[in-house]
Amino acid sequence: MTDRSRITDLANETILQSARAVLRKTSVFDLSIQSVVDQSGLSRATVYRHYSTPSDLIAGLAVLTVDDIKEEMKSGLDAGPAAAYARAAVKVLTSDSEVNRQVVLHASVQSKDGKWVPQGNLPESLLVKWGVDIDDAQVGLTYFRGAMYSWACGFFTDEQFAQEAERALSMAGDGR
């Protein structure tokens, strides 16, 4: 990795962590490039070089969250890919609930604009890649999504979300 790419990666990490800090203090409606500049101490030009709009920041956080889920699930693969994904998603999402609830909801709205995580990172794509029969997993996946959005809206606590994720796994037949 070159010095330039290390600096770019560090700036991107700083920007996204600053966006998280803004979301912890306020809400997605107060997220702006200027609020990230103020939080990060970086120049406006640096932030704009990476993200043009608050929606781009949310999309960046969504991609980072999916990457964190994929990394976390490596430790649970012995339970099967669907179970590892669901449990990793619960762990990652609830590790910073205040922020991740907003990211889940707003990123979903952005999906209507084509701004969402890359298609290869959608649960269906990942499960197929890991050899899971998507038709067999569809009911559990649908239930899991319902639980995730109920959690994101505040209808479920973190603990209830975890319980409902386990229920979704039981709908997949063998829980794997």
Q: How many CA atoms lie within 13 A of 80 on its CB side?
A: 16
CA–CA distance, 80 with 131 (Å, rounded to integer)? 10
Domain containing residue 21: CATH number:
1.10.10
Q: In sequence order, which residues have a C-beta less than 8 Å from that of residue 149 and are 6 or more positions away? A: 104, 105, 108
Q: Are residues 118 and 167 in the same domain?
A: yes
pLDDT in tens, 130-144: 888 888 888 888 999
Q: Are residues 68 and 2 in the same domain?
A: no
Last residue of a domain, one of 52, 67, 83: 52
Q: State which residues of the chain have pLDDT below 70.
A: 1-7, 109-121, 173-176
User: What pLDDT is attached to residue 113?
Assistant: 59
Alpha carbon 136 to chain centroid distance? 24
Q: Are residues 11 and 67 in the same domain?
A: no
Overall number of domains in the chain: 2
Residue 83, domain extent: 59-176
